[in-house]
Structure 1
Amino acid sequence: MLAVNYTSLRENMKSYMDQVTDDYETMIVTRKNNKNVVMMSEEAYNNLMENIHVMGNKANYDWLMESKAQLENGNFASHTLTEVAEDE
């Protein structure tokens, strides 16, 4: 996690935004009176929200953990996929 003050962020906005999106960094923007802000890419934010949704619902979490256990125990099936032509 990176930390940068507001003035530096303002002066180098593009560079910092590129670093956040390209390197999957999370950045704390420090401000007066400890009113800090966190900057992250939209992709990281969406992933975080999806994880909160899945992990925040007990039924979803239990289903996910059961599926994980089945996979780890070798209880799965694999299938060969076939490619379908565009005109079909």
Structure 2
Amino acid sequence: MEATTYSNFRNKLKSYIDKATNDYEPITIIRKDNRNAVLISAEEYNNMKENQFILGNPNNLKWLEESKMQAENGDLAHHKLLEDEDE
């Protein structure tokens, strides 16, 4: 994770936004009062919020853990896909 001062961040705003959005590089913005901030892409932020929502629900977490154990144990099910009747 790259870190920069607030002044440098302000002067090179476009460059830092490009790093965050194109390279998925979080940027820590260091402030004098030690109230730092982090710049990340909207895509990365949305992924974090989605993971927080999914993993924050005990039922979802239990289902994911059970599914992972089944896959690791080779307990997989195969299903034939239905054909579209219009084709």
Q: Which residue of 1 aligns with 2:73?
A: 73
TM-score (structure 1 length as normaliser):
0.83
Please give the alpha-carbon distance, in whole angstroms, between the structure 2 residues aligned to 1:83 and 1:4. Answer: 56
Match of 1:27 in 2: 27
- In the TM superposition, 1:1-88 aligns within 5 A as 1-78=1-78
Q: How much has 1:25 moved relative to structure 2? A: 1.1
Stretch moving more, 74-83 or 12-21: 74-83
CA shift digits 1:54-83 (9 cap, x unpaired) = 111111100000011111111223457689
- What are the ranges of 5 or more consecutive residues in structure 2 without an aligned counterpart? none
Distance in 1 between the 2:31 and 2:45 partners? Answer: 22
Structure 1 residue runs of 5 or longer lacking an equivalent are none
What's the C-alpha RMSD, in Å, of the aligned pairs?
2.1
Matched residue SS, 1:76:
coil
- Report the CA distance shift for 1:19/1:82 in structure 2 as closer, same or farther (over 3 A): farther
CA gap 1:73/1:8 in 2 versus in 1, 3 angstroms:
same
CA distance in 1, matches of 2:41, 2:83: 34
